[in-house]
Structure 1
Amino acid sequence: MLQPHIRIDETHGAKYALLPGDPARLDRISPFLSDVKELAYNREYRSISGFYKGVKVLAVSTGIGGCSAGIAIEELAHTGIKAMIRIGSCGAMQKGIALGDLILAAGAVRDDGASQAYVDLRFPAVADTELLNACLTAARQNGFAHHVGIIHSHESFYIDDNEKQTLFWAKRGVLGADMETAALFTIGRLRGIKTASILNNVVICGTDTANSIGGYADGEQATVRGEKNEIRTALEAFVLSEQK
């Protein structure tokens, strides 16, 4: 059935999906794939299909935040997708995480609204173990700088006590912040979908978030490299998953 928001149906024939936030990022995913086809573009949801080393994959943008990501996750599941990897950006909350380093999320603090709408906060937001291990193997095999740990998924960039919240979670060892990973892990677990999240660090711990994100949008070299590395890592993880 044609899905109402992402505007694709089960005829795509893929099991795997990359989930970037930005629709423009699909233009940077396309060069990694062969036989690329543009599928749909409705609101924030742009989609393409293609092949990587013989494995068919989709790439579907989710927009910003857990609510819009949740719609994409649910509708992709309805079309037969069995595994999803978010490839997004984040801000580091610990020293020693450089621009362009990858953070592989093992779990997420559920400080977003979307995941809380689904289930009590006592339910953990964690990656699928096999898919996370495939991502870790791919990052290691390619020599990409990476870190593994917990992400803080928040609801808004502009809350009044943002600095206080950042310090609170940083003191508890949280590696970085995004807006979608908790929703992905929670919904995926509830719906029986394998999920992982690979985040490209675009903000050095202790620096201004808005300026750093602006630098990423303008094509800052290290973060552009990090984006390529997260795309490659996710695609290689799908290949490893297919070989099992």
Structure 2
Amino acid sequence: MPDWPLWVWVIIVVVLLAVIAGIVVAASRKQQSANLERAEELRTRAHESDRIVAARQERADELAARAESVRNEAIGESQRAESLRMQAAEAEERAARAAEQAELRDDEALHSREALEAAAQERDQQLEKADQLDPRVHTGRHGQSTEEQVEDQPVDEVRPIDPDDERDPDPEPLPDDDRDVDLDDERDLVVDDDPTPDDVPRDEHGRRLDPYGNPVPDGRWPDKE
């Protein structure tokens, strides 16, 4: 180690300390500059993240609005579906009632048809019994009544047959009357001596009235002028 004076060593120490201090300060400034740059970079990224977050928030709000709209539409569709379901149930109930009414009407129609057939059968039986009891109806050789035989005959051959009818269905021509009536002999007929005609006006007591409306005693009648 050189034998330098003390003040030299002091200067050397001071210089070394200054150099070390300068190195430390430079390193510190460099670190601060790097930190500032890093901070600015982080702030920039943070601002970009804010924009991204804002955009994502806006998108989320839009999606939420759409979801709410879809939810409202779903609720409306559900309500309409429920209404249609109720209408369908009411329609099915009305259809069931209509089917029951139709079955009742069919039963009524069937009973009415059966009653009509029974009435027609009863009427035929009554007509058949009436034909059996009626002496005017005679059964022909082929099992047909006289009325049916008359209907089967031609129009020009049909003649009414009635045993109780005194009129001859095929009358013969009457013989010529040989008696000659002379119109002049009518003057010789006997004339009633009573001058009062049968259509003489009478009052409420049955007394005869003259042409002037006065009652005439019995046995007296005004002479005709």
Q: Report the TM-score, using the length of structure 2 for normalisation.
A: 0.16
Higher normalized helix content (fraction of residues): 2
* Greater relative contact order (CA < 8 Å, ≥ 6 in sequence): 1
Larger gyration radius, structure 1 or structure 2: 2
Q: Report the TM-score, using the length of structure 1 for normalisation.
A: 0.15
